[in-house]
Amino acid sequence: MNTSLRRHLIASVIGLATAALSPALLAQTVAPIKAVASFSILGDLVRQVGGDRVAVEVLVGPGSDAHVFQPTPSQARLVGQAQIVFSNGLGFEGWMSRLLGTAGYKGRHVVASRGIQAIHTEEAGEKPHAGHQHEETDPHAWQSVPNAMVYVGNIVKGLCEADATGCASYRRNAVAYNAQLKALDTDIRATWAVIPATQRKIITSHDAFGYYAHAYGVKFLAPQGVNTDSEASAKGVAQLVRQIKQEQIKALFVESISDPRLIAQIGRETGAKPAGELFSDSLSNAQGPAASYVAMMRANTTALTQAIQGH
């Protein structure tokens, strides 16, 4: 009886405290924290952690390329007014420090990839260590789900420092989201588990899947002989055909050949199937198959494994 009374008392105290705090909470929802994320995938992660307390603006929107981004004056103003700025780091946004300087931004700048085990791009791996580490690092760290959990940790830390009142809420959101990510990671591993390791080979013109390859044991090869800039030559097509045959590739994700008839011809020649779209550096729009980070990772995994299994 005594304990129950005490419990009751505690509950009502908490209730009172919440009631006393609620005007402050209300004020927060009216004027949320202004956050700016450098690109759409990071923007989604910040949104998941921030929830209603944070208004996220994304500089490089869905479907755009962060490598060749040119900030506009209105985006510089956006950054100047922000309370917290998130970037990927690892040399992904070469324009970020300049933009922060131009915008006169003095606030908190969170590098979301801090603390991950960076890997180096393949060409860099063959070269002896030259000390140009920032140029050789592969920035696409979010392509592995465990790394995304590190991102989430950094985002929570940054948001808590910028908005101490919301810290508990951020932590709660992060725990829930990390559970989703954990399930996603398990699913991806389970999907690949049914495919023998020797068959896990993909030719793709994207160079963004180093972390994915590392985390899930898939080999990504760059297509030889063809590029977007020029008309295909017989030699280029022949090189690609030879590569597909030698590596016994079943799936082609070759966006650098823009003529679908040529991809079809290569498919006939080699038995490899031209497969769908992969999302590497940005989400799709809200109607697309990769509207969020989780959806993107699922869409990529489905596209890759189905192509290999010949569906």
Residues near other proteins (CB under 8 A) are 225, 230-238, 241, 245, 258-262, 264-266, 268-269
| Least distance from other proteins to the Cβ atom of residue 262, Å | 4
Q: CA geometry: angle at 56 spanning 290 and 20, to 5°?
A: 125
Least Cβ distance, residue 279 to other proteins (angstroms): 21
CB nearer to other proteins: pick between 64 and 178: 64
- Please say which residue, 133 or 258, places its beta carbon nearer to other proteins: 258
Q: How far is the CB of 220 from other proteins (least distance, A)?
A: 24
Cβ-based nearer residue to other proteins, 10 or 238 = 238
Token digits for 286?
Answer: 């809200």
Q: What angle do CA 55, 57, 62 make, to 5 degrees?
A: 130
Identify whether the C-beta of residue 156 lies closer than 8 Å to the C-beta of residue 170: yes
Q: From 21, 62, 16, 70, select the one nearest 42 (Cα to Cα).
A: 62
Q: Which is nearer to other proteins, 172 or 245 (CB)?
A: 245
Our CB check for other proteins shows the closer of 146 and 225 to be 225
Supply the minimum distance, in Å, between the C-beta of residue 61 and other proteins.
Answer: 20
| Closest distance to other proteins from the beta carbon of 255 (Å) | 13
Instruction: Reduce the DSSP state of residue 162 to 3 states and report it.
Output: helix
DSSP code per residue over 256-309: S---HHHHHHHHHHH-PEE------SS---TTSTTSSHHHHHHHHHHHHHHHHH
